[in-house]
Amino acid sequence: MPLPQPEDVMDRIRALEQAVRELRSSVTNQGGFTEASQGWKIPNQTLPSTPDSGGHLTANGDEPMWSGADGSVYSLKPSPPFTPGAAVASPPVFTSPSSPPEVTVSVYQDLRNDAQLARGVLVTLLQSLRAANIINS
């Protein structure tokens, strides 16, 4: 039985050259994490661990995500546009005098009416904003 012969130096060089060629082809055939020729394309990935500084921009479930060094993780997907609510009339012009010559029951009544009209417009405005989901109830 013949004894195994040590590799020739030229055999080792050929093997190393082949390994380098294979590594180069595997590196050049890998797709990058991003492409920017027609806008950024970021493939879906699991969220990475928190970086030491700065942050990670990733896509998770087709949603752009930001992971910050402070541990914060939030979506960068914009909120859907709101549906305009019902139109609200302009506040009425006050009917009460700004400086009456004397305070009478009718002046108090005018002030009360003005406050009620302003309250009515405010209530209508709040209802419109709530109906459009701009503010919570």
pLDDT at residue number 79:
79
Give dist(CA 90, CA 36) in Å, integer: 49
Q: How many CA atoms lie within 13 A of 100 on its CB side?
A: 13
Give dist(CA 61, CA 47) in Å, integer: 10
Across residues 72-88, what is the average pLDDT?
A: 81
| DSSP state for residue 64 in the 8-state scheme | E
The rounded mean pLDDT for the chain is 82
41, 57 Cβ separation under 8 angstroms: no
Strand 64-68 to 73-75 pairing:
antiparallel
Enter the pTM of the model: 0.40
- Residue 74 pairs in a beta bridge with 66
Across residues 18-42, what is the average pLDDT?
A: 74
Domain ranges, ordered by start, for the chain: 38-78, 80-137
Across residues 65-91, what is the average pLDDT?
A: 83
Confidence of residue 32 (pLDDT cuts 50, 70, 90): low
Confidence of residue 132 (pLDDT cuts 50, 70, 90): confident
Confidence of residue 6 (pLDDT cuts 50, 70, 90): low
Q: List C-alpha distances in Å: 79 to 54, 63, 66, 76.
A: 24, 12, 16, 9
Give dist(CA 9, CA 23) in Å, integer: 21
Confidence of residue 5 (pLDDT cuts 50, 70, 90): low
